[in-house]
Structures are given as C-alpha cells and as structure tokens.
Amino acid sequence: MNDFQQEWIAVDWGTTHFRVWRMSGVDVIEAREASCGLLALQQDQFESTLVKHLHGWADQAPVLMSGMVGSRQGWQEAPYLFLPVSLREVAIGAVEVQALELNRKVHILPGVACQDQTRPDVMRGEETQLLGLGAGVEGWTGVICLPGTHSKWVWVENGAVNSFDTYLTGELYSILSQHSILRHDLGAEEFNSEHPAFANGVEVGLSESTPLLTSLFRVRARSLLIERNPLANAAFLSGRLLGEEVRSAIKNLPKTEKTHLVGGSSLTKLYAKALTLAEREVQRHSGDDLVQLGLTAAWQFLYPQSE
Amino acid sequence: MNDFQQEWIAVDWGTTHFRVWRMSGVDVIEAREASCGLLALQQDQFESTLVKHLHGWADQAPVLMSGMVGSRQGWQEAPYLFLPVSLREVAIGAVEVQALELNRKVHILPGVACQDQTRPDVMRGEETQLLGLGAGVEGWTGVICLPGTHSKWVWVENGAVNSFDTYLTGELYSILSQHSILRHDLGAEEFNSEHPAFANGVEVGLSESTPLLTSLFRVRARSLLIERNPLANAAFLSGRLLGEEVRSAIKNLPKTEKTHLVGGSSLTKLYAKALTLAEREVQRHSGDDLVQLGLTAAWQFLYPQSE
C-alpha cells in the first residue's frame, strides 16, 4: 500500500508529442513537454529520452505512460484489450516495461481494439482520455467524439467501452490539401468555426445531397468556374468532411443524446459547430486535461492508497 | 468545301500523354505517341513540340486537338461550353490557335462545364470520347461512365450532354496509397477484377453498411489485428472506393439502364465488375479508340465534305 501523496510520474507519449507530469497523488507539481514523439525516435532511444526529461525529479517515483509508446513501434508493446473493455480493465491492464537505467517501476497502459471481422478497429491513447472522463463516476455512460487525425466515436456504457468507430477525416483533409489537385485551391491560413463556408460544407455533408467523392472534385471545379477564395475553399472542404463524419456517426443515435467532445480547443469548436448544425447537444472537454486525469485515475487503480 | 479524303491531323493532348494521328478523311494512316503531356512542358513549348511530332507528314494538313492542351495551363485556352451542350456544339466550338511556325489551321476543341452554383463541374477531353461514342447515331441517348483519375458519369440525351458528375475516386486511391497511414498496408502489385477482396470492397461500398471514412481506417486496423496481405488490402480499398462511386452514381438510374464504360482495359474491367455486382448491365468501349473517333466526328462537322 502506498501513501496517497506518493510521488509518481505521468507520461503521455504519442506519435508526435511527449508530455510528462510530476505528480503528488492526484496533484500536478510540475509539467514538461517536448517534441520527441515516436516519429522522432529510434526504438532504443525511449528510455534515455525519458531519463533526460525526468532530470531533477524524484529518483524512485514510479512511471505510468499512455499512448503510442505502447505500440509495436514504441518502447514496448502493451497489447490491445478487446471489446467490451471496462475502464478499470484498461488501468489494471498496464504492462510493466523493462527499464534498466531508470531503476523504478515503469508501466504502459494498453490500447483497446475491436477484433470483429466486419468492424476491426483500434485506439491507443484515447482510452486514457476516456478514463479521465469517466473518473469517479460509477457506471458512467455516454457518447464521446475524439476529433483528430483519426477521429474516434466511442460508446461507453456502464463504465465500459462497448463499441467505437474511427474516421480518417483529419488525415484525409491533410493529404487532400497537400497532395491532391485541390492543393492549389486551398488556403493554408486558419479559419474558424464561424466561417460561413464551413457551415455550408457541413450542411452539404449532413444532407447527402452530393456524394463525398463528387464534393471533393467540386472544390476544384468551383475554383475554375465560380471562384471562392482559398480560405473559404479550405473551410468548405473541412466542413464537408466533418459533416460526412457527423452524419454517419449520429445516424443511429437518439436525437436527445449529448455528445462529449474531447480534444484541442480549435478542433472541438469545429465539431461543436457541426453537431449544433445537426441539432445535437454537445459538451466540450480539454483533451490535454483528460489525459492527465485518465493517467491519474489509472494510477489510483494500480496503486490503491491506504485508507 | 474539302475533299472527303483530305489529309488532316488529330491530336489528343492531356496532362501526361500526347497522341497524334495522321488521317486521310476518316482513315488512320499512321499514329504516334509520346510522354510530352502538359506536366512535361512549359507554356511556350507546345508549338515546337507539335512540329517535332508531325515531322515527315503532309505540310498543310489542318490540325484538330482535344484535351488539356485547351486548358488555361495549355497552349491556348478553349473556353468551356456550358450545359446543356450538344455534341455538335462541341465540334463547331473549336477554337483556332495562333500557330506561327506551323503555317496551317490549328483548332482545339472546348471542354464542357456545368456552371450551376450547387453542382459546378468541368470536363476536358472526355467530351471528345462522347463525340466518338455518339458519332453517326442521330439523337443518341445514354449513361456513360469514364473512369480515371477523376472519373465522370455523364447523362447524354438526344445528342446533348445534359448533366455530369465527377468523382475523385482514382486520385483518392492514389494519394491514400502514397501518402496516408495506409501506405504501409497496400501492395503495389496489380490486382485484377476477379480478386475476392475487390468484390468484398465493392459490396461494402454498395451496401452503406460502413461509412467511407471508417472503411478507410479499417484497412489499417485489419492489418494490425486480423491480417490480410497487401495485395488484398489494395484490392479491397479499390473496390471500396469504386463501390462508393457506383452506389452514388446509379442511385437515381433505372435498373434497366445500361452503363457505357469508356476507358482503358484494366480500369473498365474493374468498373464492369463493380456494376455487375450492383446488378447493372454494362458495355465497355476503348477510350483510346473513342478519342480518335471523336476527333474524326468533330473534323467532319468542322470541314463538311462536298457531296
């Protein structure tokens, strides 16, 4: 049994980001971040990278990590748990890592997968945010959308992930704007959720009036024939893709079901706008905060404090 | 009035290809091709390139060209004609080009566009294949699918293009396989239309059981969890995209309506398979042949022979 105010280290280690928190029980003492995500590292550089970023912190504090660091390309694989998975199972499913230099306990939380032949899917990192969202609520139930490069829609029932779907929306926007014929027509500036072309794109996506593959080419055709500025084209395309995702995701959802949006501020604002146009209620949550809360919830499962 | 057996030159000049035929009336005397498409040329190199490839052929023979050579990035813009456009209008809409070196008449056929605010679209080159398909048939009516980087579905009624839609299918497959997270999961080998994973992809696309944006990510998830070889992944993805296109395109089409497929052999075979799985009748046509036939039909409109 550990003291409730024990020091420990929480780590969120993804494809492109690395964040670490020095914790005392449930309280954050100090936070650090760096750009040493998986893409920037060789497979034998994980431990030395972590050692570097823990410099000056308590020597013996155990470490709990989450994210792509537990993938096959990460430090050590923390195999997927298969649906249905309770959030508690994610926590106690943490895998101990061989860490020779660090001289302390190091764990990585597992990802979650659906192995159904007809709908295989995987998540790694998002399960920790779900842990944070459901922390302290017995039998938590809800629909959660986690926008991102590969956005996830998750159905949690009674504290367990029952099903989820991943949409390639963010990555598709990115490769269309960098590598397709549309790249000349799209502005690189940021647009916000109140841009009228964004709403227009969402409405086309929600309405099924134009097939997605046709809408994509029409961004080009519109530039040639009618003109629309590059920023508006970008806003339209983003809205068109989000509208497509939202239409599919809410199809079998009761109209009254609220969607929890988890992520960064600008992206959750866009999704909130799209869901509002679809006449759905939303509640936004900071993705960063939820990772840290999720790691804390998992730590409480793993190291239950003395009463 | 010209003699029916007058010599003339037909040119199909696209983004990546260049083909030229030495014609005597409706008969091909000789054909040449090269890889000097628009992407390989500066804007001031068109005439000298053509001069080079006409070497040794009749000095005065007029030239009729079609394709991206008439775009804003081409030799000279041949502005779009707007829907509805009869195939005869395409022919007589040919634009004369300033050709100082060539010392003969040079024309470029216009493209066709839909300027409707809600469904802007453009074609350039395909209208010539349509001319070839409808050549000699009074009041030709039919549905034509022209697969390619940007595939087109065209409704021709009574010899006029009434409407058309472009699908980004081919380009999407290409950028997904080169630039997305799926690139590691897809084989670069050719698969054929009888690959079972292709049929499986088409069926998912036709059925609407899984949203497109979700299907895309599941190619990755399947590789991680269940395994499927890279060739099968590529066949599935191709089928999934074609199934999506076909489902959208035939939605409002009577079940008995035959689809004319115009293009290269391997691509029209894939589309024929997808349409057959959707229980539609198809007729395949060689795209190369139809360009030459279309240029010939246009030449007959432009230079009507003495009776």
Lowest model confidence (mean pLDDT) among B23-27, B151-155, B188-192: B188-192
> Is B85 within a domain?
yes
Could B167 and A217 be called an inter-chain contact, meaning their C-beta atoms sit closer than 8 Å?
Answer: yes
Model confidence band, residue A59 (pLDDT cutoffs 50, 70, 90): confident
Name the β-bridge partners of B153.
Answer: B145, B165
Give the pLDDT score at A86. 94
CATH number of residue A84's parent domain? 3.30.420.300
Contact by Cβ (8 Å): A46, A34: no
Residue A181's domain comprises 169-286
CA-based nearest residue to A37, from A19, A22, A52, A25: A19
> Is B179 within a domain?
yes
Percent of chain B with pLDDT over 90: 84
> Is B222 within a domain?
yes
CA-based nearest residue to B293, from B259, B260, B262, B257: B262
| Arithmetic mean of pLDDT, B244-256 | 94
- Does residue A3 have a pLDDT over 80? no
| Arithmetic mean of pLDDT, B104-112 | 97
A113 and A195 housed in the same domain: no
CA-based nearest residue to A285, from A258, A257, A264: A264
Say how far residue A43 (Cα) sits from the centre of its chain: 23
> Is A191 within a domain?
yes
CATH number of residue A200's parent domain? 3.30.420.310
- Does residue B256 have a pLDDT over 80? yes
B181 and B65 housed in the same domain: no
Q: What is the C-alpha radius of gyration for chain A, rounded to an integer number of angstroms?
A: 21
- Does residue B227 have a pLDDT over 90? no
Say how far residue B201 (Cα) sits from the centre of its chain: 24
Could A119 and B218 be called an inter-chain contact, meaning their C-beta atoms sit closer than 8 Å?
Answer: yes
| Dist CA B242 CA B222 (whole Å) | 20
B201 and B230 housed in the same domain: yes
| Dist CA A129 CA A291 (whole Å) | 5
| Dist CA B50 CA B13 (whole Å) | 10
Higher pLDDT, B276 or A3: B276
Name the β-bridge partners of A262.
Answer: A285
Residues of A in contact with B165 (CB under 8 A): 211, 214
**If 0-12 CB within 10 Å is exposed, 13-18 middle and 19+ buried, where does residue A230 land?**
middle
Give the pLDDT score at A1. 42
- Does residue A74 have a pLDDT over 80? yes
Structure-block tokens of residue A244: 């497509």
> Is A113 within a domain?
yes
B282-286 and B259-263: which strand pairing?
A: parallel
> Is A188 within a domain?
yes
Kind and range of the H or E run holding B240: helix B230-250
Nearest residue in B to A214, CA atom: B167
> Is A152 within a domain?
no
| Of the partner residues B115, B165, B222, the one whose CB lies closest to the CB of residue A120 | B222
Higher pLDDT, A303 or B289: B289
Higher pLDDT, A307 or B147: B147
Q: Per-residue b/e over B108-140, b at no fewer than 16 CB within 10 Å?
A: bbbbbbbeeeebbbbbbbbbbbbbbbbbeeeeb
| Dist CA B263 CA B248 (whole Å) | 20
- Chain B: nearest CA to A72, how far in angstroms? 10
Name the β-bridge partners of B34.
Answer: B18
Could A179 and B181 be called an inter-chain contact, meaning their C-beta atoms sit closer than 8 Å?
Answer: no
A99 and A189 housed in the same domain: no
Give the pLDDT score at A56. 92
B42 touches chain A (CB under 8 A): no
Contact by Cβ (8 Å): B128, B121: no
SS3 A168: coil
CB within 8 Å of B89: residues ≥ 6 apart: B81, B160
What is the per-residue pLDDT across A153-185, written as a single tens digit (0 to 9) for each? Answer: 999 999 999 999 999 999 999 999 999 999 989
CA-based nearest residue to B121, from A230, A244, A214: A214
* ipTM of the complex model: 0.91
Residue B176 half-sphere exposure toward CB, CA atoms < 13 A: 28
Percent of chain B with pLDDT over 70: 98
Could B120 and A150 be called an inter-chain contact, meaning their C-beta atoms sit closer than 8 Å?
Answer: no
What angle, 0 to 180 degrees and rounded to 10, lies between the N-to-C axes of helices B196-207 and B265-277? Answer: 50
B165 touches chain A (CB under 8 A): yes
- Does residue A19 have a pLDDT over 80? yes
| Dist CA A20 CA A121 (whole Å) | 28
SS3 B57: coil
CA-based nearest residue to A46, from A75, A12, A11, A76: A75
A231 and A296 housed in the same domain: no
B11 and B103 housed in the same domain: yes
> Is A146 within a domain?
no
CB atoms within 10 A of CB B248: 19
A111 and A213 housed in the same domain: no
Residues of B in contact with A209 (CB under 8 A): 118
What is the per-residue pLDDT across A190-215, written as a single tens digit (0 to 9) for each? Answer: 899 999 999 999 999 999 889 999 99
B276 and B293 housed in the same domain: no
Dihedral sign for Cα atoms in the order B243, B247, B250, B254: positive
B108 and B13 housed in the same domain: yes
Name the β-bridge partners of A66.
Answer: A12
B100 and B11 housed in the same domain: yes
Contact by Cβ (8 Å): A24, A299: no
Higher pLDDT, B1 or B169: B169
Contact by Cβ (8 Å): B48, B277: no
- Does residue B1 have a pLDDT over 50? no
Lowest model confidence (mean pLDDT) among A160-164, A283-287, B184-188, B190-194: B184-188
Structure-block tokens of residue A8: 């420990």
Nearest residue in A to B247, CA atom: A211
Model confidence band, residue B5 (pLDDT cutoffs 50, 70, 90): confident
Model confidence band, residue A136 (pLDDT cutoffs 50, 70, 90): confident
Q: What is the mean pLDDT of chain B?
A: 94
Instruction: Indicate the residue type of B163.
Output: S
Residues of A in contact with B218 (CB under 8 A): 119-121, 166
- Chain B: nearest CA to A56, how far in angstroms? 38
A109 and A55 housed in the same domain: yes
CA-based nearest residue to A263, from A148, A93, A115: A148
- Does residue A287 have a pLDDT over 90? yes
Name the β-bridge partners of A285.
Answer: A262
A11 and A129 housed in the same domain: yes
A175 touches chain B (CB under 8 A): yes
Kind and range of the H or E run holding A23: strand A18-24
Quote the number of domains for chain B.
2
What is the per-residue pLDDT across A44-55, written as a single tens digit (0 to 9) for each? Answer: 999 999 999 999
Q: Give the pTM.
A: 0.93
A80 touches chain B (CB under 8 A): yes
| Dist CA B144 CA B136 (whole Å) | 17
Residue with tokens 């504290």: A159
Model confidence band, residue B136 (pLDDT cutoffs 50, 70, 90): confident
